[in-house]
Structure 1
Amino acid sequence: MRSRTLANLWCLSACHGLATAKTTSSSLRPATTSSTGPSPCTVTAYSAVAAATASCTAITLKNIAVPGNATLDLSKLKAGTKVTFAGTTTFGFAEADYDMIKVGGTNITITAEAGAIIDGNGQAWWDGQGSNGGIAKPDHFFVISKALGNSVIKNLYIQNYPTHCFSISGSEGLIIENIVLNNTAGNAPNSRSGGLAAAHNTDGFDVSTCNNTIIRNSKVLNQDDCVAVTSGNNITVDGLYCDGGHGLSIGSVGGKSNNNVTNVLFENSYILNSQNGARIKSNSNTTGFIANITYQNIKVSNISIYGIDIQQDYLNGGPTGSPTNGVIITNVTMCNIQGMAESIAKDYYILCGDGSCSNFRFDDVHITGGSNSSCNVMPTGGFVCSP
């Protein structure tokens, strides 16, 4: 994938001539693009997966039932391997923290036949606490580590994952596209969740230490971040439909092994029924660097907390109201961000540490419906942070 820099998006001209944000997405259904080409290794039992990945480069996984506390391990695929999910892939229950699917390799393709479903059996673990407590549960469902050399993951329909879905790290040149993540069954309380939504901490895509990575044309229905980038360079998120979660996020940044996020573009996306629209957050009393971040052509609807949120006061997962300045945030562009927040929400909220935020520009940004907006750093571009 060709590396690029987003610095040229900094000026006002970034807004001009761009398509409006997508406000519709494909209906909720398994992917309808079928795989093509030969499939010499068709696997129908979990016990045969290891042998197939060791010897085959065209693998079909058909109706695989993965036992509890076991991993569907695709992390050592041969270069150029294509894996196709077929039928329904299921997962047994175990009260334990483990990775349910692992993927890695060079020039690999992970895809699915028409109608294929990957069902994470999340309801067996959901207790309203997610990875914050309760019973032991898998913290990540689909772990992608070191997917290199223009690998592609596409056309997957995943439902009912226990907590975070995709964990993407150490990858270069990866494209993820045409994915549906449907965790709507976790919206309702259950007998263990104390009246709260049963599913919790159900991020769609968590990205760290990646370079030249694209996530596009995908749909996420969940209860946490639609996409969260915590470290990496040259990340593009394009054409996302995010319903029910926490929006499109940078962070939280600080206190991790890698705390640099540079050249990230979120564009042409629709965020609805979510706590936040666009969000950048850093952790208190830590260090890091966030630069060249662009959100453009974004529509929001029914936002319950913040339409646009930039905060530097996170501690133990929550805001303190007292920002610190160890994480530098610079060159942030918001361009053509439109939509509605609920009356209890803030349309805009910027809380930066002393001297740690600079070069913010908001052009054609109009979120209405909320109240009590607050900005201790004022972006240029004619933006008004009105209450």
Structure 2
Amino acid sequence: MRKIEGGGTLDGQGASAWGQSQCATRPYTIGLSSIQSAIVHDIHSINSKMFHFDVYNCNNVTLSHVNIIAPSDSPNTDGIHISLSSNIRVFDSNIGTGDDCISIFAGSQNVNISGVTCGPGHGISIGSLGNKPNEVVKDVHVKNCTLIATQNGMRIKTWASSNVGEATSISFEDIIMDKVNNPIIIDQHYCPSHTCSFQKSLVQIKDVTFNNIRGTSNSLVAVNFNCSSSLPCQKINLNDIKLINDNNAKPTIASCANAIGHATGIELPPSCLKPALES
């Protein structure tokens, strides 16, 4: 079992590189590649030039009690980026950065995240998927996390014009949102450059559960399911959702496009999911 531990701080001195093009290749602070069984704990990482921790093609890796800090405007400084990896655990950590606090990318499965406080940042994200053929993420479980003033809360994203792929068996449970812009979001028209062709996404999103999600939304649309018209989101489950408008001026709303599922328990905002057709 490999270990990276201690109470020290790794300073990536990222300010010297953040002004470069976002397409420029920049170093990660810690890269874990093709590792079988490892533990990372009690590590502090600040101001990475790009990802703070990159977990690539690994199996059985645990990250705990890591503290990650970068300015909210620092580009591509994901806290923990996971790709092509399985049996990954992240717990009891604080992440504030300029991009996703945790990003779960293609080829990842059996990922468990708990006890993470995120903010600032872009939230906890699955994707983006569909840039290459057959990109799949499955068995991801996020529980008992808090997001503070982040751009997004729990997000699944696929490219606006995508290849075939899948995101399935995903759950977000016992999540607190504090002034989050997009607390619950599925975006199958993701295109940060705004130059995509916007063809229909071919990534199938299914079996996704949001359970006991509570707190405040900075936007009126607290639940946004913008799914593909060619492959609608299937089996989306909402249970006990209570997201109120931060300024209390208007009630929050839900927006659904091509999203099939059901809601139970508290529905704030009221669910807009389309029920599945009876067979």
Provide the TM-score with structure 2 as the length reference: 0.86
User: Aligned pair in 2 of structure 1 residues 155, 317: CA closer, same or farther (>3 Å)?
Assistant: farther
User: Aligned pair in 2 of structure 1 residues 137, 250: CA closer, same or farther (>3 Å)?
Assistant: closer
Number of the residue aligned with 1:15: none
Number of the residue aligned with 1:170: 57
User: Aligned pair in 2 of structure 1 residues 318, 288: CA closer, same or farther (>3 Å)?
Assistant: farther
The CA distance in 1 between the partners of 2:199 and 2:263, in whole Å, is 24
Q: Deviations over 1:114-166 (max 9, x none)?
A: 4x211111122232x6x515xx5625322111120x31111101111112211
Matches within 5 A, 1:121-200: 121-127=13-19, 132=22, 138-148=26-36, 150-183=37-70, 186-187=71-72, 197=73, 199-200=74-75
User: Aligned pair in 2 of structure 1 residues 352, 110: CA closer, same or farther (>3 Å)?
Assistant: same
The CA distance in 2 between the partners of 1:167 and 1:279, in whole Å, is 19
User: Aligned pair in 2 of structure 1 residues 258, 139: CA closer, same or farther (>3 Å)?
Assistant: farther
The CA distance in 2 between the partners of 1:321 and 1:248, in whole Å, is 26
Q: Deviations over 1:208-255 (max 9, x none)?
A: 111111011111011110111112110101111001111111110112
Is the deviation greater in 323-332 or in 377-386?
A: 377-386
The answer to whether the aligner puts 1:110 opposite 2:4 as a matched pair is yes
The size of the alignment, in residue pairs, is 259
The CA distance in 1 between the partners of 2:76 and 2:94, in whole Å, is 17
Matches within 5 A, 1:1-387: 107-112=1-6, 114=7, 116-127=8-19, 132=22, 138-148=26-36, 150-183=37-70, 186-187=71-72, 197=73, 199-231=74-106, 232-256=108-132, 259-283=135-159, 284-304=161-181, 306-315=182-191, 324-342=200-218, 344-354=219-229, 355-369=231-245, 371=252, 373-376=254-257, 377-382=259-264, 383=267, 384-385=270-271
Is the deviation greater in 325-334 or in 353-362?
A: 353-362
The CA distance in 1 between the partners of 2:91 and 2:193, in whole Å, is 28
User: Aligned pair in 2 of structure 1 residues 312, 276: CA closer, same or farther (>3 Å)?
Assistant: same
Following TM superposition, by how much is the alpha carbon of 1:258 offset from its aligned partner in structure 2, in angstroms?
5.8
- Preserved CA contact (<8 Å) 1:125 1:137: no
Following TM superposition, by how much is the alpha carbon of 1:277 offset from its aligned partner in structure 2, in angstroms?
0.7
User: Aligned pair in 2 of structure 1 residues 326, 258: CA closer, same or farther (>3 Å)?
Assistant: closer
Q: Which amino acid aligns with 2:271?
A: C
- Preserved CA contact (<8 Å) 1:167 1:205: yes
Q: Secondary structure at the match of 2:154?
A: strand
Q: Which has the higher helix share?
A: 1
Following TM superposition, by how much is the alpha carbon of 1:374 offset from its aligned partner in structure 2, in angstroms?
1.2
Following TM superposition, by how much is the alpha carbon of 1:385 offset from its aligned partner in structure 2, in angstroms?
3.3
Gaps of 5+ in 2: 246-250, 273-279
Q: Which amino acid aligns with 2:51?
A: H
Q: Deviations over 1:285-325 (max 9, x none)?
A: 32101100000010011112x11100111235559795724
Gaps of 5+ in 1: 1-106, 188-196
The CA distance in 1 between the partners of 2:242 and 2:114, in whole Å, is 20
- Preserved CA contact (<8 Å) 1:156 1:178: yes
Larger Rg: 1
Q: Which amino acid aligns with 1:241?
A: T
Q: Secondary structure at the match of 1:173?
A: strand
Q: Which has the higher strand share?
A: 2
Q: Which amino acid aligns with 1:126?
A: W
The CA distance in 2 between the partners of 1:269 and 1:325, in whole Å, is 29
What fraction of aligned residue pairs are identical, expressed as a percent?
Answer: 24
Q: Deviations over 1:238-275 (max 9, x none)?
A: 11100111111111011237611010001110001101
RMSD over equivalenced CA pairs, Å: 2.2
- Preserved CA contact (<8 Å) 2:235 2:260: no
